[in-house]
């Protein structure tokens, strides 16, 4: 097999079809190893500052070769050593021979790998937060612009009372506002694992530095260099894998919000009320040229199911860790964490694209409202008839009979309900202003006010916090 031909090998659709370049790079091998090297360099610099005999020339050589990663050399070392961290230590030692003797002093692999994983996950959460802000911004504008448009509310997917198109969008948006708060909480509370050694006791660093205060100063300084204000107070060899479970659970909550939004739009598309963007040359079906399939939302729901399904894996890993550590976490972590983030990244890009380009069909929405409005308006008609001097009980009976006849017309003849026409023709309701009592806006309650208040109190503060990162490019390539 020609390994140079990319079409011969499996390529993850998360990379080739969904996630952004930035997120793919973040979880790429180069970024991972570069983060390891940055930690090794920071560790050596702080050890030198604390009195460990490390020369300025050794530090300078590490800085000069920091980004010169020889993956082929590391691959050869790993084939021999069966240990990826040691393989990259040897590869860097070849590029920086002066510094080779002082690399990884006092450290165990988790001192480097775990801290690097936390750094990468935190940055991935920050990228996720930016996408969430863009989704919230787009849905906020849509909600505001359509706040007054009455639409048929659906409970159990059956006609219910009216709401507005904007109020429904505000409900979608609210889910993502909650998700952003959770993501920001994870970013804010994520702790650096620190330098704890083989079983978390820091014994090796005590041997190296000889002073508890220096050991604590070492990990505080490196944590600060990487932007962490908190350090895990106690660990085994690794940070608790519950951190991974919490992060993936947070991502799964976003996936649930995406799934809810995308499913609603798919259903509304079937009702011809609201559709996702559909391009002029886009093909909906290979056999049915007239089809306008909601492929963006369908793709988003599929990705959402993947992330939701990944929740159990990190939890099982956390539960399975024996005493101070076991290595059955590594192979699982290498898949579940990147895939969860790549899938979320792809689906939030999709949702941003959809939210910015939603197509509303007011005439269809109005027709659907009008078809169900007679039943909803009967109480208002009854009250108006009483105010005009009618007998409540007699008017109620007349409405009941007309409603039954209109319903039979629908079920027996397949015709539209003529309830309003029947009531308008009944002399008992001659004094009722039917145009007023059947105005859909009478039946939307505080939907407009709720939408405006939601945008003002929840969306606008997010827009201000992320104002430099809104309008992120969400154009799709496939």
372 neighbors 410 (Cβ within 8 angstroms): no
Instruction: Look up residue 291 and give its two tokens.
Output: 């089809």
232 neighbors 191 (Cβ within 8 angstroms): yes
Look up tokens 């021979």; give the residue: 97
Give the residues across from 155 on adjacent strands: 158
Query: Half-sphere exposure of 152 toward its Cβ, with a 13 Å CA cutoff?
Result: 27
Q: Give the chain's length.
A: 478
311 neighbors 331 (Cβ within 8 angstroms): no
Give the residues across from 164 on adjacent strands: 150
Cα dihedral 328, 334, 340, 345, rounded to 10, equals: 170
3-state secondary structure of 159: strand
Residues 6+ apart with CB under 8 A from 76: none
| Residue 237, burial from CB neighbour count under 10 angstroms (0-12, 13-18, 19+) | buried
Query: Residue 230 CB: number of other CB atoms within 10 A?
Result: 12
169 neighbors 142 (Cβ within 8 angstroms): yes
Nearest-angstrom CA–CA distance, 455 and 449: 10
Nearest-angstrom CA–CA distance, 397 and 257: 45
Query: Half-sphere exposure of 23 toward its Cβ, with a 13 Å CA cutoff?
Result: 29
Q: Which of 11, 285, 331, 407 is catalytic?
A: 285
Element (H, E) at 457: none
Determine if residue 236 is left, alpha or beta; phi over 0 gives left, psi from -120 to 50 gives alpha, anything else beta: beta
Nearest-angstrom CA–CA distance, 37 and 187: 23
Please confirm, yes or no, whether 249 is among the known catalytic residues: no
Q: Which of 7, 21, 156, 287 is catalytic?
A: 156
Please confirm, yes or no, whether 269 is among the known catalytic residues: no
List, by residue number, the catalytic residues: 156, 285
């Amino acid at each position: 097999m020609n390994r140079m031909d990319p079409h011969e090998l499996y390529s993850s659709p998360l990379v080739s079809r969904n996630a952004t370049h930035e997120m793919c790079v973040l979880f790429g091998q180069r970024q991972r190893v570069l983060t390891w090297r940055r930690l090794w360099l920071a560790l050596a610099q702080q050890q030198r500052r604390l009195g460990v005999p490390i020369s300025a020339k050794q530090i300078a050589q590490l800085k000069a070769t920091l980004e010169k990663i020889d993956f082929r050399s590391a691959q050869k070392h790993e084939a021999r050593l069966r240990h990826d961290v040691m393989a990259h230590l040897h590869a860097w030692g070849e590029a920086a021979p002066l510094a080779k003797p002082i690399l990884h002093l006092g450290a165990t692999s988790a001192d480097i790998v775990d801290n690097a994983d936390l750094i990468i996950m935190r940055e991935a959460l920050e990228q996720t937060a930016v996408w969430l802000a863009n989704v919230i911004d787009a849905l906020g504008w849509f909600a505001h612009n359509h706040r007054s448009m009455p639409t048929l509310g659906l409970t159990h997917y059956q006609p219910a009372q009216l709401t507005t198109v904007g109020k429904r969008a505000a409900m979608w948006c609210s889910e993502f506002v909650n998700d952003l708060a959770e993501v920001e909480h994870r970013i804010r509370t994520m702790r650096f694992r620190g330098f704890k050694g083989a079983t978390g006791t820091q014994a090796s660093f005590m041997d190296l530095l000889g002073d508890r205060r220096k050991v604590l100063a070492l990990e505080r300084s490196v944590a600060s260099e990487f932007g962490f204000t908190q350090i895990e107070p106690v660990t085994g060899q690794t940070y608790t894998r519950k951190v991974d479970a919490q992060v993936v659970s947070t991502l799964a909550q976003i996936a649930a919000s995406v799934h809810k939004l995308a499913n609603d739009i798919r259903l509304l598309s079937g009702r011809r009320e609201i559709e996702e963007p559909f391009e002029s040359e886009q093909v909906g079906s290979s056999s049915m040229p007239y089809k306008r399939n909601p492929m963006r939302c369908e793709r988003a729901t599929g990705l959402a199911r993947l992330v939701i399904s990944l929740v159990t894996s990190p939890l099982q890993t956390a539960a399975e860790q024996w005493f101070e550590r076991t290595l059955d976490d590594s192979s699982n972590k290498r898949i579940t964490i990147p895939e969860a983030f790549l899938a979320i990244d792809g689906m939030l890009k999709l949702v941003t694209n959809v939210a910015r380009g939603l197509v509303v069909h007011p005439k269809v929405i109005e027709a659907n409202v009008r078809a169900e409005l007679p039943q909803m308006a009967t109480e208002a008609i009854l009250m108006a008839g009483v105010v005009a001097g009618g007998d409540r009980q007699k008017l109620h009976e007349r409405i009941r009979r007309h409603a039954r006849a209109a319903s039979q017309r629908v079920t027996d003849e397949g015709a539209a309900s003529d309830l309003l026409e029947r009531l308008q023709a009944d002399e008992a309701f001659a004094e009722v202003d039917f145009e007023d009592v059947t105005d859909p806006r009478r039946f939307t309650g505080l939907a407009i006010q709720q939408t405006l208040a939601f945008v003002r109190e929840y969306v606008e503060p997010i827009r201000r916090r992320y104002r430099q990162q809104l309008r992120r490019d969400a154009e799709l390539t496939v």
